[in-house]
Amino acid sequence: MASADLTSKGQASRRSREGGFADAAPHPLLSLLRRLAGRVVAVVTTLLGLLFLTFSMGRLLPADPVLAITGAEVSKEVYDRVYNELGLGEPIWMQFLAYVGKIATGDLGTSATTGQPILTDLMTIFPATIELAVIAMIIGAIIGIPLGITAAVRRGTIIDHIARIVALAGHSIPIFWTGLMALFVFYAKLKLVGASGRIDVFYEGLVTPMTGFLLIDAAIQGQWDVFYNALGHIILPAAILGYYSVAYISRMSRSFMLEQLSQEYIITARAKGLGTRKVVWRHAFRNIRVQLLTILALTFGGLLEGAVLIETVFGWPGLGQYLTRGLQMNDMNVVMGSVLTIGAVFLTINILSDVLYRILDPRTR
């Protein structure tokens, strides 16, 4: 009897401990809600920080937003009236709250240069920049990743030296100088590509905007003459942007692969008789995918920044040229709206990267 009582008491104590541990374990739904809440707080905080930076930039730069609207030749009465309408006489914290409220409703202000809402202008021009950056990104990834991996596998050979020279030149030569030289050679001398702009004047208006991406819209509507003309215009600036992304992607791919090739599991795989291709692409490459994803995300954001110069050189009607014109005309609404757009794209890319991390690497789930 005593033994039975001790056994029953031990089982009850064990069930009590197990139940206590079970109660202490968080519910999967509750854990998911906590992660989502943390992500929302991080995104909102980042957006507020971005809004504060763009607002501060608009107030600190030596440009008068009133004169950008009224012009230099304006009476004091008109100047004061516009000054008060813009709310510039209010305390700075009230101006910031008003700015955040407008952004929350999609009001980025009105461009003093075009006379249209900033959001309308961005919806018209931003697809051109995205189209240019996507093609450059494809070029950079297709060439940069295999080049970097091959350089790592054949370390010390001529291929490795070429990859390092490509990376060094891409980081050293100014992008606007490369753009000017490329225009001189491939357009002025060889006549292999189109002139500046997105398309020849003859083809303007033949394609109805649907997605905003001219190549896609022309292909959907069967306007192949327009498609090839647009391709002739975009290929050179995209190739230059792509080259600079190749320099960065190949260098990082080489570094990541060299690190993996020195790991013990690679030595074991080779000892088992696996070929170089299987060892590199089936084993080592799988372990650098997440790192490469980060590099590609950062590269795409960098392409949007590089597009500011390359669009100016090639007369590309995108966000870069729009921002440059806004700076030249002291149109702070354009500058702030463009910077906010680039920052929002960076934030979106980071969120998508985090989601893909969880898909590619189960350890982060």
What pLDDT score does 228 carry?
92
What pLDDT score does 61 carry?
66
- Whether pLDDT at 277 is above 70: yes
Least confident of 6-15, 70-79, 195-204, 255-264: 6-15
What pLDDT score does 145 carry?
92
- Whether pLDDT at 116 is above 60: yes
**Domains in the chain: ranges and CATH:** 51-107 (no CATH), 120-364 (1.10.3720.10)
What pLDDT score does 16 carry?
47
- Whether pLDDT at 100 is above 50: yes
What pLDDT score does 167 carry?
83
Q: What is the pLDDT confidence band of residue 69, given thresholds at 50, 70 and 90?
A: low
Least confident of 21-25, 140-144, 297-301: 21-25
- Whether pLDDT at 87 is above 80: no
Q: Which long-range CB contacts under 8 A does 182-185 form with residues at least 24 apart? A: 182/236, 182/239, 182/240, 183/236, 183/313, 183/314
Give Cα separations from 210 to 221, 231, 242, 283 (angstroms): 10, 18, 26, 43
What pLDDT score does 224 carry?
92
Mean pLDDT of 134-143: 91
Residue 26: φ, ψ to 5°: -70, 145
Positive or negative: CA dihedral 254, 255, 256, 262:
positive
Q: What is the pLDDT confidence band of residue 1, given thresholds at 50, 70 and 90?
A: very low
What pLDDT score does 18 carry?
47
**Percent of the chain residues past pLDDT 70, beyond the cut:** 85
Least confident of 68-82, 223-237, 245-259: 68-82
- Whether pLDDT at 10 is above 60: no
Q: Are 241 and 307 in contact (CB under 8 A)?
A: yes
Q: Strand, helix or coil at 311? A: helix
What pLDDT score does 32 carry?
62
> Which is higher by pLDDT, 133 or 2?
133
What pLDDT score does 138 carry?
92
What pLDDT score does 42 carry?
76
- Whether pLDDT at 12 is above 60: no
- Whether pLDDT at 341 is above 50: yes
Amino acid at 165: I
DSSP string, 57-123: HHHHSS--HHHHHH-SS--HHHHHHHHHHTTTTS-HHHHHHHHHHHHHTT---B-TTTSSBHHHHHH
> For residue 364, what is the DSSP state?
G
Quote the mean pLDDT of the chain: 80
Q: What is the pLDDT confidence band of residue 21, given thresholds at 50, 70 and 90?
A: very low
Each residue's pLDDT tens digit, 23-51: 455 566 677 677 777 777 777 788 788 78
> Which is higher by pLDDT, 181 or 75?
181
**Percent of the chain residues past pLDDT 90, beyond the cut:** 9
Mean pLDDT of 156-163: 88
Q: What is the pLDDT confidence band of residue 142, given thresholds at 50, 70 and 90?
A: very high
